[in-house]
């Protein structure tokens, strides 16, 4: 990785757990697809491979978006906020869905006026048929 890229990564302000939030947005229509966390290694792999990588807080491991589902995200642009503590990653989404639940976006539920949620997006796949079942 070139010196300027390494300087960019070093300037990021990771939290006490070594993570920075990343907002993932469709590069064509600006739809927010998901929010996930990246550690330094995930940021570097994302830049190097031009595919999004994240750090799973629940599984405590690095993962690439689409490694099981095939719904890979090709990185088009990366922005950093004014405080250097949040990333905005614009991507070309491979496949119809970015959300592991089968929807295009993880933000597929809208709060109703009097409580509860309304599903406002089309479901593209059944997660039980796409992901390996934990044993």
Instruction: For the chain, give every domain's residue range.
Output: 3-130
Q: What is the pTM of this model?
A: 0.92
Residue 5: its pLDDT value, please? 86
pLDDT per position as a tens digit, 82-110: 999 999 999 999 999 999 999 999 999 99
135 pLDDT more than 80:
no
Range 3-130 classified under CATH 3.30.43.10: no
pLDDT per position as a tens digit, 63-72: 999 999 999 9
> Residue 57 and residue 132: Cα distance in Å, rounded?
19
Tokens 């409580």 identify what position? 115
The DSSP call for residue 85 is S
> Residue 70 and residue 100: Cα distance in Å, rounded?
11
- Phi then psi for residue 97, to 5 deg, are -120, 135
| Of 20, 118, 134, residue with least CA distance to 78 | 20
Extract the tokens encoding 6: 């390494």
């Amino acid at each position: 990785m070139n010196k300027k890229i390494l300087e960019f990564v070093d300037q990021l302000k990771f939290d006490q757990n070594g993570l920075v939030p990343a907002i993932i947005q469709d590069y064509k229509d600006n739809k927010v697809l998901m929010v996930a966390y990246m550690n330094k290694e995930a940021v570097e792999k994302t830049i190097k491979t031009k595919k999004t990588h994240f750090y799973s807080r629940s599984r405590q491991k690095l993962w690439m978006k689409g490694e099981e589902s095939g719904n890979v995200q090709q990185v088009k642009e990366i922005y950093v906020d004014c405080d250097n503590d949040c990333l905005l990653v614009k991507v070309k989404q491979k496949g119809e869905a970015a959300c592991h639940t089968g929807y295009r976006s993880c933000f597929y539920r809208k709060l109703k006026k009097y409580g509860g949620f309304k599903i406002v997006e089309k479901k593209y796949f059944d997660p039980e048929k796409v992901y390996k079942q934990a044993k």
